Homo-oligomer: A and B are copies of this chain.
Amino acid sequence: MKAIGFTQSLPITDEQSLFAFTTEQPKPEARDLLVKVEAVSINPVDTKVRKKAASQDQLDKPRILGFDAVGTVVSVGDQVTLFKEGDTVFYAGDISRSGSNAEYQLVDERIVGHKPNQLSAAEAAVLPLTALTAWEALFDRLVMKPGEGAGKTLLIIGGAGGVGSIAIQLAKQVGKFNVIATASRPETSQWVTELGADQVANHHSLVESVRALGIEYVDYIFNTADTYGHWDAMVELIKPQGAIVGIVESGQPVDLSQLQFKSVAFHWEVMFTRSLYKTDDMIQQHYILEQIKSLVDQGIIRSTLTETLTGLNAETLKIAHQKSESGKMVGKLAVVY
């Protein structure tokens, strides 16, 4: 089968940063599905892995990226119970395995959902990683179940990004939080408002702009952006006994003790944790994706797709990586076959 991968960590402008190659089509065993990929999306994890995984030595064989996909199940392992051949599915996958930038991909059925009916392949492909991240951050980390945000204020830092764009919708429609989303440009402010944010703050002057809304403390913070860069503002804005969830590794050490006297909690959310550690509750990701499908089919949640590239090849993926690395993306980008 055809695939796109890398063997060296190179700038995306380098011809060899991502390249096409052929490799053997894998066979599904146990709980794996073999999926024929129809559309993929790009996430910051793609560029992070590309820049890190072969920064020292050249890899022995190309690594395939891609942590979002829509496709059709073409065969199944002997322990598969949730899906059958011909099902159209969407999933983010497992960071320890080959990704979706290929004709075919293996994925454990416990982290896969049925594709929402009303969406195109591109519209559906942009959802899994960000929706799993946002759902887990909101309902497995910050609060214990949907609806528990009622009467509570949630500040989403980086509201217009991939995770922010779905987090606003889930926080508002499922969590019932009062949502303040951050944005810093007119188009991003408009975007987060369209997605359902009750109020908009500016992450370049976070404390001042939240206080300007008449809010002293927020009950929860979901920081989808720079953990270190927003640390002092989060320390200032979080309510005593409140909780913060972060998803971006802190480049520099943060002063955790600043949260002490408020008895605040800091939660990490990485949507790869369940599959990476094969946790007992790994199948929760199947249920989360099925709920996302249901919410989309009912028209409660919309796709965060803002741009589509056609032709899944090294050239389109390089463009996708470049756009992701710019840090300026609004919503999400898909690449379709």
Binding site for B on A (CB under 8 A): 136, 140-141, 144, 227, 240-241, 243, 249-250, 253-257, 259-270, 272-274, 276-277, 279, 281
Contacts and interface: CB of A to CB of B under 8 A. Distances in A.
Contacts of A136: 263
Contacts of A263: 136, 141, 267-270, 273
A240 B276 CA distance: 10
How many identical chains are in the complex?
2
17 contacts: A144-B144, A227-B257, A240-B277, A240-B279, A241-B273, A241-B274, A243-B265, A249-B257, A249-B260, A250-B256, A253-B253, A253-B255, A261-B268, A261-B272, A261-B273, A262-B273, A262-B277
A241 to B, nearest CB: 6
Contact of A265 (B141, B249, B276): B141
Contacts of A262: 268, 270, 273, 277
A266 B277 CA distance: 19
Given A264-B268, A279-B241, A256 B253 contact: yes
A227 B256 CA distance: 10
B266 A266 contact: yes
The 8 closest A-B pairs by CB, nearest first: A240-B277, A263-B273, A265-B267, A253-B253, A260-B268, A249-B257, A250-B257, A263-B270
A218 B269 CA distance: 19
A226 to B, nearest CB: 12
Nearest to A263: B273
A102 B278 CA distance: 57
Contacts of A276: 240, 261
